[in-house]
């Protein structure tokens, strides 16, 4: 499940700082519109994007319930998981309650996943291009434009009459296209947060994440988006150890023990 979570982390929320780069910043470009979109419709779409992004800038923290469904050609029924997501600043914590408990934290240059039943912590480094990203139902569109082409899906309102902004994100770089084909995001314009995110990968697998009971600016504490594990927890670094032994265990070993109260 880490692949789906990692892509959600890349897509759903972007931090305020741009990725490090030695090249000059690209010229500001308008968001590509769908082929059938008129100039008037494209301008209206741009205004809605800007309004939503401005509203999101005022969000300090977020809490929401989520349900993820992963559709794969190998299975007749989707793999479903549920839980709670909490976001503050550049850190986001996903606590899955069913079908198997786990906690995932994005931020601080890494993605960490803890499985309490196995007393196992998996740590994944976030590379230079993704280190300013975090996962949560709060997409900063101004940052996403740097990595994705953004186009409207369908204009209109939600099922209950609420106004929603439906967009499709298409990766610009080959690096991202190797992992994701497209992302569709449904944003509640009245409450500036994503209502649904649908990620389709190049192999045809589709991951849907629905967010419900979204609460903004409720006073999330720092400890709520940190990950502390008990003594004796095994640490695995499937992509290699780039932390110089910070989380216990020698650098490059890929294994170690997390000390009490220490965070990845």
Residue 174: give the domain boundaries: 2-12+34-227
Whether residue 66 is contained in a domain is answered as yes
Domain membership flag for residue 101 = yes
Calpha distance 191→142 (Å, rounded): 18
In a domain, 241, yes or no: no
Q: Does 250 fall in a domain?
A: no
Q: Is the peptide bond before 99 cis (omega within 30 degrees of 0)?
A: yes
Tell me 202's DSSP state.
T
**Would 243 be classed as within a structural domain?**
no
CATH of residue 68's domain is 2.50.20.10
Give me the tens of pLDDT residue by residue for the chain, a chain 264 residues long.
Answer: 444 544 454 443 333 333 333 344 444 444 454 445 688 888 888 998 899 889 988 999 999 999 999 999 889 999 999 999 999 988 899 999 999 999 999 887 788 999 999 999 999 887 544 434 444 566 677 778 888 999 998 754 444 456 888 999 999 989 888 888 999 999 998 888 899 999 999 998 999 999 999 999 999 999 999 999 999 999 999 877 644 333 433 323 333 334 334 444
Is 17 a domain residue?
Answer: no
Residue 247 lies in a domain: no
Report d(CA 9, CA 130) in Å as an integer. Answer: 9
Q: How many domains does the chain have?
A: 1
How far is the C-alpha of 136 from the C-alpha of 12, rounded, in Å? 6
pTM of the model: 0.74
**Pairing between β-strand 79-88 and β-strand 255-258 as defined by DSSP bridges:** unpaired
- Asked if residue 22 belongs to a domain, the reply is no
Of 190, 172, 219, nearest to 26 (Cα)?
Answer: 172
């Amino acid at each position: 499940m880490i692949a789906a979570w990692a892509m959600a982390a890349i897509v759903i929320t972007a931090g305020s700082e741009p990725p490090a780069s030695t090249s000059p910043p690209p010229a500001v470009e308008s968001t590509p519109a769908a082929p059938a979109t008129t100039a008037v419709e494209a301008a209206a779409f741009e205004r809605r994007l800007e309004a939503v992004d401005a509203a999101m800038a005022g969000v300090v923290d977020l809490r929401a319930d989520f349900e993820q469904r992963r559709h794969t050609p190998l299975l007749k029924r989707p793999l479903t998981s549920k839980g709670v997501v909490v976001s503050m600043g550049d850190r986001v914590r996903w606590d899955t309650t069913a079908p198997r408990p786990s906690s995932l934290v994005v931020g601080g240059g890494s993605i960490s996943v803890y499985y309490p039943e196995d007393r196992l912590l998996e740590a994944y480094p976030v590379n230079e291009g993704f280190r300013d990203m975090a996962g949560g139902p709060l997409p900063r569109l101004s940052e996403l434009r740097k990595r994705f082409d953004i186009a409207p899906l369908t204009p209109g309102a939600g099922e209950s009459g609420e106004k929603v902004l439906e967009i499709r994100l298409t990766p610009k770089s080959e690096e991202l296209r190797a992992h994701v084909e497209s992302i569709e995001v449904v944003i509640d314009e009245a409450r500036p947060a994503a209502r649904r995110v649908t990620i389709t990968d190049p192999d045809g697998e589709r991951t849907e994440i629905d967010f419900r009971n979204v609460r903004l600016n409720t006073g999330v504490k720092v400890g709520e988006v940190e990950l502390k594990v008990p003594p004796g927890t095994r640490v695995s670094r499937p992509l290699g150890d780039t932390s110089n032994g910070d989380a216990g265990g020698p650098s490059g070993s890929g294994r170690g023990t997390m000390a009490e109260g220490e965070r990845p």
